[in-house]
Chains A and B, each alone.
Chain A
Amino acid sequence: MFSRAYKTAVTVPPLAWVAVFLLFPYALMFCYSFWSVTPAQTIVHSWNFNNYKELLQKSVYWQTLLRSMWIAARVMLFSLLLGYPLAYFLSFYAGKRKDLLYQMVIIPLWVSYLVRAYAWKTILGSDGVLNTLLQYVHLTSHPLDFLLYSPFAVALTLTHIYTPFTILPIYASLEHISRNLVEASHDLGATPAQTFWKVIFPLSIPGVVAGATFAFLLSLGDFLAPLLLGGPSGIMISNIVVSLFGAAYNWPLGAAISLGMLVIVVSLLFFSERLEKKWSFS
């Protein structure tokens, strides 16, 4: 057995890490969310629920939160629609090119987020690649302005950035499916399409849930894509938090929003965990 000293040596550092970098900041945020700020912009340590009341009463926060969830839901849907077929191809049909294609899915993750977001700016802008092309082939006479600085642009960019995060768990769950089961299905008379819907897809649900969770939650908390490409109509909840902690200097309200988001995220994670467990059979 391990000595007491050894056990202490291996358990204390991670616990300390969690305490210093997670529990303490959250505790601090929790306290801040019940404090308030004076018109002279000093933070008063007087405990009250005003911040939370303001959140519930002012529609701008609700609307932004709903818009953020709507954008995140679209990102999730598009990532799944793009990611699933790719993961499926990779797992079942890529053969010898599997490793190469897998690397090609991974490589974009090594490229800076900013570079990828800016790339979309040059594609979607009014003088951008897409508008120039559309005008050149006379599909449109003037630049389409909904392309950039819109929720559409944010959803598109986030889909591009987070699709690899949905591909990987789906791919992993597809790889996990015994090929014997696919053979058994064919053996019992199921066509490839029936086999997909009755065997492969149900068994890949844990990966789909994990991938969907990644895409949704990462998008929900994103603030760079809306900042760069969202324009006024594409503002997301994190942009509000950023401005409250920055220019607006209302840390208490920012903390209250952050904690609200934390509750949403944790409950979604809890839900997705249960869903994944329900569909795991190994």
Chain B
Amino acid sequence: MSATSAQKPTLLSIRNIAKTFGRNVVLRDVSLQIAEGEFLTILGESGSGKTTLLRIIAGFETATSGEVWMGTERLDQQPPYRRRVNTVFQNYALFPHLTVEQNVAYGLRVARRPDAEIEQRVTEALEKVKMTAHARKKPSKISGGQQQRVALARALVNRPNLLLLDEPLSALDANLRRQMQVELKSLQREVGIAFVFVTHDQEEAMVMSDRIALLRSGELEQVASPREIYSRPATAYVAQFIGHTNLLRGEVRDGVARCGSLSWRTSAADGPALFSLRPEHLRPSSVASNGTVRVTGKVLQQAFHGATSLVRVECAEGLVLVMRTSSGALAAQEVELEFSPDDAIPVRESPERA
């Protein structure tokens, strides 16, 4: 568990949630705690059930079994309009017949707040997302990025306990998207409201989150901070989904892992084993280093990624390793690589699920 969730009290507690649509199992036994003020990302491929989980929290979908609690209050038996949870929808879902201002005021109006209060809070919210200049415009007259901000203001103006965001950045182009990631993160810090952010983009999840909950086929694979999930992936799936990795399949006997001709000391338990080795932990071997695992191979391909390159190296017995290097193109065709045994992280298999 990350520092955030350990220090702060739990805000939302998802307990053994399962959801089936007909014969189609979308979520199975998902349990998750969200801390106050936390930025939690539910990460998963399309069809992993991440949006369904979000919709269950918001109240648009009823779980087949399980419970959702907010503090001492059972949330899943309440209609969406009684939950102190607001959502930023993927397509923003701004009311097309209302102006930006009226959209933002909507939640306060239906709650019958006094006019003066509405005006003041709407003004503040629009300032916060820098949309004051567009207050009188209809949503169709502003850009996608601006609609995004209005959707945020419309949700935040209600001061919810929890804000749900359903892939809110997926419709934006890459540059605007990166900019919004930063803005969204700093906005979240500023308002101190817990965010549950759904995305399929692992990079986005890494940049923004306090914790990532990785969903696969309706089950949680791992819930951890970005750093932990990257450096200590629990399963082969997590290791592959978050960043690049090399998966080494082998066997552990008496504290020694063997994978083809390679072997190294490990603390993993005896038996068949799977190790994740990040490309950046491989490097061309040097004479000076000792205690490293060495392997020779032939350079298959080099892909330039800007600051780094990814080099595919074919070793003996059909083993292909990917190495990340920041030192430019490799001249040699034959290379000797090395890695430290500590960097080979044992991971669980990720069996196929229907």
Contact = CB atoms under 8 A, between A and B. Distances in A.
Interface of A: 178, 180-181, 183-192, 194, 198-199, 202-203, 279, 281-282
Contacts of A184: 87, 89, 93-95
Given A188-B81, A191-B110, A282-B96, 5 more contacts: A186-B59, A187-B86, A190-B106, A192-B81, A202-B97
Contacts of B158: 188-189
Given A186-B80, A188-B154, A190-B110, A279 B95 contact: no
Closest 8 CB pairs of A and B: A281-B96, A188-B107, A184-B93, A180-B93, A190-B110, A186-B80, A186-B81, A187-B87
Contacts of A188: 81, 86, 106-107, 110, 154-155, 158
A199 to B, nearest CB: 6
B81 A180 contact: no
B89 A189 contact: no
A239 B93 CA distance: 51
A191 B80 CA distance: 9
B81 A189 contact: yes
Interface string B152-192: 00110010000000000000000000000000000000000
22 contacts: A181-B93, A181-B95, A183-B80, A184-B87, A184-B93, A184-B94, A186-B60, A186-B79, A187-B58, A187-B59, A187-B80, A187-B86, A187-B155, A188-B154, A188-B158, A189-B82, A189-B158, A190-B81, A198-B106, A203-B96, A281-B97, A282-B96
B91 interface: yes
Contact of B110 (A181, A189, A281, A282): A189
A141 to B, nearest CB: 53
B298 interface: no
Number of chain B interface residues as a range: 20 to 34
Contacts of B97: 202-203, 279, 281
A185 B89 contact: no
Nearest to A187: B87
A187 B80 CA distance: 6
A198 B81 CA distance: 14
A255 B39 CA distance: 75
Contacts of B258: none
Contacts of B106: 185, 188, 190, 198
B281 interface: no
Q: Pick from A184, A191, A192 the residue with the most CB of B within 10 Å.
A: A184
Contacts of A189: 81-82, 107, 110-111, 158
A184 B90 CA distance: 11
B140 interface: yes
Q: Pick from A178, A188, A198 the residue with the most CB of B within 10 Å.
A: A188
B138 interface: yes
Q: Pick from B58, B89, B97, B140 the residue with the most CB of A within 10 Å.
A: B97
A188 B92 CA distance: 13
Contacts of B86: 187-188
A176 to B, nearest CB: 11
A194 B87 contact: no
B111 A180 contact: no
B79 A281 contact: no
Contacts of B59: 186-187
A12 B248 CA distance: 74
Interface in B37-89: 58-60, 79-82, 85-87, 89
Nearest to B82: A189
Nearest to A281: B96
Contacts of A178: 91, 93
Q: Pick from A189, A199, A279 the residue with the most CB of B within 10 Å.
A: A189
Contact of B81 (A191, A202, A281): A191
A254 B107 CA distance: 58
A190 to B, nearest CB: 4
A191 to B, nearest CB: 6
A279 B81 CA distance: 26
Interface string B188-213: 00000000000000000000000000
A186 B86 CA distance: 9
A259 B80 CA distance: 56
A198 B60 CA distance: 19
A199 B110 CA distance: 12
Contacts of A186: 59-60, 79-81
A183 B94 CA distance: 11
B7 to A, nearest CB: 29
B114 to A, nearest CB: 16
A266 to B, nearest CB: 28
Nearest to A181: B93
Contacts of B154: 188
A281 B138 contact: yes
Nearest to B86: A187
A200 to B, nearest CB: 11
Nearest to B164: A187
A180 B107 contact: no
Contact of A180 (B89, B110, B138): B89
A281 to B, nearest CB: 3
Given A189-B110, A189-B111, A190-B110, A183 B96 contact: no
B140 A183 contact: no
Contacts of A199: 95
A183 B164 CA distance: 13
Contacts of A191: 81, 110
A272 B320 CA distance: 70
A278 to B, nearest CB: 10
Nearest to B138: A281
A31 to B, nearest CB: 47
Nearest to B139: A281
